[in-house]
Amino acid sequence: MVGLILVTGGAGFIGSHLVDTLLIAGYDVRVLDDFSTGKKENLRGAEALAAAHGGHFQLIAGDVRSEFKMRDAVDGCAAVCHLAAVASVTQSLADPVDTGSVTHGGTVNAVRMAVDAGVPRFVLASSCAVYGDAAQQPVVETSAPQPLSPYAEAKLAAEQTCAAAADAAQLAAVCLRFFNVYGPRQDPGSEYSGVISRFMAAAAAGAPVTVYGDGHQTRDFVYVGDVVDAILRAVQRPLSGVSVLNVGSGAPTSVLDVLGRLEELVGGPVPRRFAGARAGDIRDSRADAGRARWVLGWEPGETFAGGLEQTWAWYRERPVEPAAPGAPAAPGRSPHV
């Protein structure tokens, strides 16, 4: 497939990496972002990449809930990569109405406008949060959803919206359930940015890190470059109907293990403090990504050690003042799910 690709939330962490990759692959790229959490600096190289690879880049500032903005954004597109969302469990508990409005309502608007414009492919950035505390690990796509937060509920509803359009043969939909994505450009100031970005920002600033809970909870960390590869394949593969796919490494890693690996990169101990577990957090999470391998031919290519090293190099060069311990997450709409 060659053509124009829309990336909603394209100024964010995952979105901006996707924009770069699409431009390098020779696609024309259009971004829709309201910059509530996305950053224009994440797209500062987009024009140059487009020129170097014979493509075009366009940026539209706007909200995914705006019918007017979304209609303009999908016009002439070969695919929509929908990453815009309120991507914070804590924020969703504090403001479930806004979370549902943006994360689910924005998806309804995006799918409706895509169908009206005749866009053949819709790729949704979903989340492993839909599984909740799954009884069995690793989790497969047929595991019963058990959302523990309004954020997870909104993501599940967004998937159902995509499935309904696909079942009506209005477009082909791919719902990618991301596990714990990490890598350069991830904003440590966001509650949902992930433990790795918060730990690295604190270490770069010489500050102590905060471990919520006992630190033995496990996560499936997947490097942003591998996630972008999955999205690209979801755009390119000849698919029909709806596909719901896990995107994760398949390897469980505890929070304390992450801290230990960071200390190896730093070359010394990183001070730590412990705080109570946060509402809506799950205990363990691990993906079975076998279906993504079969449907997309995808598998993670970056090792955890290699991904951490690249991420630490980025944070070390761009030290950021970490958020104060216990500070509430800033409200906003983030493309990182």
Supply the residues annotated as catalytic.
151
Residues 271, 83 contacting (CB under 8 angstroms)? no
Q: How many CB atoms lie within 10 A of CB 2?
A: 11
DSSP code at position 330 = P
Buried b (16+ CB within 10 A) or exposed e, 157-168: bbbebbbebbee
Strand partners, 182: 223
- Report the C-alpha gap between 81 and 107 in whole angstroms: 11
Q: Where are the beta strands (DSSP E) in 40-119?
A: 57-61, 79-82
Total Cβ atoms within 10 A of residue 22: 28
> What does DSSP say about strands 218-223 and 252-254: parallel, antiparallel, or unpaired?
antiparallel
Instruction: For residue 256, give Cα distances in angstroms to 114, 274, 275.
Output: 43, 11, 14
Between CA 28 and CA 12 the distance in angstroms is: 18
CA dist., res. 45 & res. 162, Å (int): 32
Length of the chain (residues): 337
Judged by DSSP in three states, 242 sits in: strand
